Structure 1
Amino acid sequence: MAQSASAVEHLGSTPAKRPMRPIDLVHLARQCLGDEGLEQEILRLFDTTIATYLLRLQQSATPDEVKLNIHSIKGAAAGVGAFGIADIARAAEAELAEGRSIPAEQLADLAMAVEEVRSFIARVLTSELA
């Protein structure tokens, strides 16, 4: 019995790490006032929007276009609860504000985060329809 209690105490002292979802669905539900149909529509719109803005960012020819597209990505991502994307975009904006260009690695991280979110959206929408 003492061993079991010790094991439980040990497990209780170690914070359990839950995998973070690419989109905070609780945040999205709050933003949509619990309307599941609206949540689905927002996810569909965000999926299209984030892909469009990423492509525009990748094709940006001027610093102003880069700033506009990275800012749009940050805002859209924060609004829907894609905080990983929003954080990367916020860091990129900080680089631009200090007069530096966005490092290629950071742009690659952003593209990877966008793909992860788009895949997550596809899974969520598919399971909602099932």
Structure 2
Amino acid sequence: MTSMSAKAAGEFRADRPLDLVHLSKYTLGNRSLESELLGLFRAQAGIYVTRLETAATTKEWQDAAHSLKGSSRGLGAWVLGDIAEEAERLDHADMAARAVAVERLRAAILDVNLFIDELMA
């Protein structure tokens, strides 16, 4: 039997920007580690967006989008990860598409961060 992600197994609740089942499995249920990873994500997500906004080359753009995609999916922020994946494939020269992607990413990051704030409260 093959292993399935929480997303593929249908355990993900679409009404939440973060898959808590995935996060718990990823951290082996260690709440302290979960808090640390969520805090790191909050600190890093904005840095990745800034890197996207200032990307001067296709490689810089793709690297920043790829990093955001990886950190998002590691935590179970599937929607954000999918938006980052779409951004990663964009034509770097298409400034209008880049601006739209950055705004979508900012909105998705805000959703995740607000959810993290609720969890931490």
- Matches of 2:14 and 2:26, distance apart in 1: 22
| TM-score under structure 1 length normalisation | 0.74
Percent identity between the two aligned chains: 37
| Structure 2: segments with no counterpart, 5+ residues | 1-12
- Matches of 2:93 and 2:19, distance apart in 1: 31
Kindly state the Cα deviation for residue 79 of structure 1 after the two structures are TM-superposed. 0.4
- Matches of 1:63 and 1:94, distance apart in 2: 10
- Root-mean-square deviation (CA, aligned residues, Å) is 1.8
- Matches of 1:64 and 1:87, distance apart in 2: 19
Kindly state the Cα deviation for residue 19 of structure 1 after the two structures are TM-superposed. 5.1
1:117 and 2:105 correspond: no
- Matches of 2:115 and 2:90, distance apart in 1: 28
| TM-score under structure 2 length normalisation | 0.79
Which structure carries more helix by proportion?
1
- Counterpart of 1:95 (choices 83, 90, 94) is 90
The higher radius of gyration belongs to 1
Secondary structure class of the residue paired with 2:90: helix
Give the total of aligned pairs.
107
| Structure 1: segments with no counterpart, 5+ residues | 1-17
Q: Please show how residues 1-130 of structure 1 align to structure 2 within 5 Å.
A: 20-96=15-91, 101=94, 103=97, 104-126=99-121
Large movers: runs of 4+ above 3 Å: 99-102
CA contact (8 A) 2:62 2:89 kept: no
CA contact (8 A) 2:49 2:106 kept: yes
